[in-house]
């Protein structure tokens, strides 16, 4: 009797082990799609991953975020097994992947520089897209931006100020702003968020998506100066800033350009069919595009940048 009970317990344990193994085996057998994306896309891509996997139970989306240029080099130089690549700058795809590593480049979303403010900011009920430079420069107003040599948002903020000087015809605005004793510079843009939230800083230049995700108010600047609109590329290029180069004492010049995101499927994608299906979802007006919009990133296109001949046929109908 005891032996019988022991045998029954043994069989139950074995059955449970086999079921667990079968489940694990099934999970391992799921189709995997590896997605590399810019760090600034982390929040929307997390939601898009969840939506896509819910609609496609047999697929496991594996995401890796980081600097766009570093991820592109991981694909080309380190053999990174990437199925879909989404860059914060469409020119990274042009400069580092095409033509050897990718056949095409689709722009799909944008960001913009905004002037962010919080519940304790002075003159928050008065400031708007027409008077923001005057409000910001009042002697009792604290404002700031991130460090240009450390953070792209920092040098983009200064480019916006240069463009604002031209757009509003306010000669000397940029020089006055750089000499303003109320201006503060912080190493990371995220530090500015905390300062604006607490009221330590009244206004800060930040990406629109960051302001939206932190539920902070912001002044939406004209497209002629906010670096969002590809149609204003020529106008953006009229301003520039010098930044520290890789070598001590060396400077590099950075011109204004649109903040436009691009995506592609690398030539070495191990799961090209699944990659095409995922890209279709990302670019679908009822799929991924509304996610970017809900998190403060406006849709650009989607449209092909350069030669569209090699874009998969399944994706072309989604392009403008």
Residue 220 has pLDDT above 60, yes or no: yes
What confidence score (pLDDT) does residue 21 get?
41
Cis peptide before 302 (omega within 30 of 0): yes
Q: What is the pLDDT of residues 232-266, one digit of tens each?
A: 999 999 999 887 755 577 787 889 999 989 999 99
What confidence score (pLDDT) does residue 23 get?
42
d(CA 33, CA 277) in angstroms, rounded, equals 10
Tally of CA atoms within 13 A in the half-sphere of 188 that contains its CB:
5
**Intra-chain end-to-end CA distance of the chain, in Å:** 76
Residue 210 has pLDDT above 90, yes or no: no
Q: Does residue 16 belong to any structural domain of this protein?
A: no
* Residues in CB range of 102: below 8 A, 6 or more apart: 85, 93, 264, 265, 266, 267
Whether 91 and 150 share a structural domain: no
Domain end point (choices 255, 282, 302)? 255
Phi-psi region of 123 (alpha: psi -120 to 50; beta: other; left: phi over 0): left
Domain end point (choices 239, 255, 271)? 255
Sign of CA dihedral 157, 64, 41, 99: positive
CATH number, domain containing residue 137: 3.40.190.10
Residue 16 has pLDDT above 70, yes or no: no
Mean pLDDT of the chain: 87
Residue 22 has pLDDT above 70, yes or no: no
Whole-angstrom CA distances from 135 to 47, 131, 154 are: 37, 6, 20
Q: What is the pLDDT of residues 26-36, one digit of tens each?
A: 444 579 999 99
Q: Does residue 160 belong to any structural domain of this protein?
A: yes
Structure-token pair, residue 40:
């600034």
Whether 159 and 97 share a structural domain: no
In Å, how far from its chain's centre is CA 318? 21
Q: Does residue 3 belong to any structural domain of this protein?
A: no
Range from 33-42, 127-136, 159-168 carrying the lowest mean pLDDT: 33-42
Residue 59 has pLDDT above 70, yes or no: yes
What confidence score (pLDDT) does residue 17 get?
43
Give the residues across from 299 on adjacent strands: 109
- Residues 287-305 have a mean pLDDT of 91
Q: Does residue 1 belong to any structural domain of this protein?
A: no
Q: Does residue 208 belong to any structural domain of this protein?
A: yes
Query: What angle, 0 to 180 degrees and rounded to 10, lies between the N-to-C axes of helices 42-55 and 272-283?
Result: 110
In 39-129, the DSSP E strands lie at 59-66, 84-87, 106-110, 113-117
Range from 65-69, 130-134, 210-214, 294-298 carrying the lowest mean pLDDT: 65-69
Whether 243 and 282 share a structural domain: no
- Residues 208-223 have a mean pLDDT of 92
What confidence score (pLDDT) does residue 154 get?
85
- Residues 49-54 have a mean pLDDT of 98
Whether 246 and 121 share a structural domain: yes
Domain that holds residue 303: 26-110+260-318
Q: How many domains does the chain have?
A: 2
Structural contact between residues 253 and 242, judged by C-beta atoms closer than 8 angstroms: yes
Whether 186 and 200 share a structural domain: yes
What confidence score (pLDDT) does residue 71 get?
86
**Which residue intervals of the chain are DSSP H helices?**
2-28, 42-55, 68-77, 90-92, 132-136, 152-168, 173-179, 189-198, 208-213, 233-236, 272-283, 289-294
Structure-token pair, residue 121:
């900011």
**What per-residue string of b and e applies to 224-257 under the rule 16 or more CB within 10 Å gives b?**
bbbbbbbebeebbeebebebeeeeeeeeeebebb
Whether the full predicted model's pTM is greater than 0.85, yes or no, is: no
Whether 177 and 299 share a structural domain: no
What confidence score (pLDDT) does residue 231 get?
86
Q: Does residue 186 belong to any structural domain of this protein?
A: yes
Whether 163 and 247 share a structural domain: yes
Domain end point (choices 221, 255, 289)? 255
Portion of the chain with pLDDT greater than 70, in percent:
89
Q: What is the pLDDT of residues 70-108, one digit of tens each?
A: 788 889 887 778 999 998 888 788 888 888 899 999 999
Q: What is the pLDDT of residues 115-155, one digit of tens each?
A: 999 999 999 999 999 999 999 999 999 999 988 876 778 88
Q: Does residue 12 belong to any structural domain of this protein?
A: no
Nearest Cα residue to 204 out of 186, 222, 223, 226: 186
Q: Does residue 280 belong to any structural domain of this protein?
A: yes
Higher pLDDT, residue 19 or 316: 316
What confidence score (pLDDT) does residue 291 get?
96
Structure-token pair, residue 133:
């430079």
């Amino acid at each position: 009797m005891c032996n019988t009970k022991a045998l029954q317990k043994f069989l139950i344990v074995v059955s449970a082990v086999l079921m667990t193994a079968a489940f694990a085996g099934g999970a391992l057998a799921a189709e995997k799609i590896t997605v590399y994306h810019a760090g600034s896309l982390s929040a929307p891509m997390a939601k898009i991953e969840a939506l896509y996997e819910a609609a496609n139970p047999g697929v496991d989306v594996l995401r890796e975020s980081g600097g766009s240029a570093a991820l592109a080099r991981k694909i080309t130089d380190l053999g990174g097994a990437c199925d879909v690549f989404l860059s914060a700058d469409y020119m990274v795809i042009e400069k580092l992947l095409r033509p050897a590593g990718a056949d095409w480049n689709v722009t799909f979303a944008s960001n913009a520089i905004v002037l962010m403010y919080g519940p304790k900011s002075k003159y928050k009920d008065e400031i708007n897209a027409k008077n923001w430079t005057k409000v910001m420069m009042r002697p009792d107003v604290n404002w700031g931006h991130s460090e240009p040599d450390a953070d792209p948002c920092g040098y983009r903020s200064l480019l916006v100020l240069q463009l604002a000087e031209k757009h509003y015809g306010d000669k000397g605005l940029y020089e006055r702003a750089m000499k303003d004793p109320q201006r503060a510079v912080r190493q990371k843009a995220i530090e500015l968020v905390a300062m604006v939230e607490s009221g330590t800083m009244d206004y800060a230049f930040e990406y629109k998506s960051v302001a939206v995700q932190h539920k902070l108010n912001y002044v939406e600047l004209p497209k002629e100066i906010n670096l969002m609109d590809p149609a204003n590329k020529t106008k953006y290029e009229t301003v520039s800033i010098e930044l520290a180069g890789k070598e001590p004492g060396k400077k590099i010049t950075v011109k204004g350009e649109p903040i436009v995101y691009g995506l592609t499927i690398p030539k070495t994608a191990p799961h090209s069919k699944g990659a095409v299906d995922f890209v279709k979802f990302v670019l679908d007006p009822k799929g991924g595009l509304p996610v970017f919009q809900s998190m403060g990133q406006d849709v650009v296109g989607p449209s092909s940048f350069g030669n569209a001949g090699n874009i998969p046929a399944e994706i072309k109908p989604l392009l403008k």
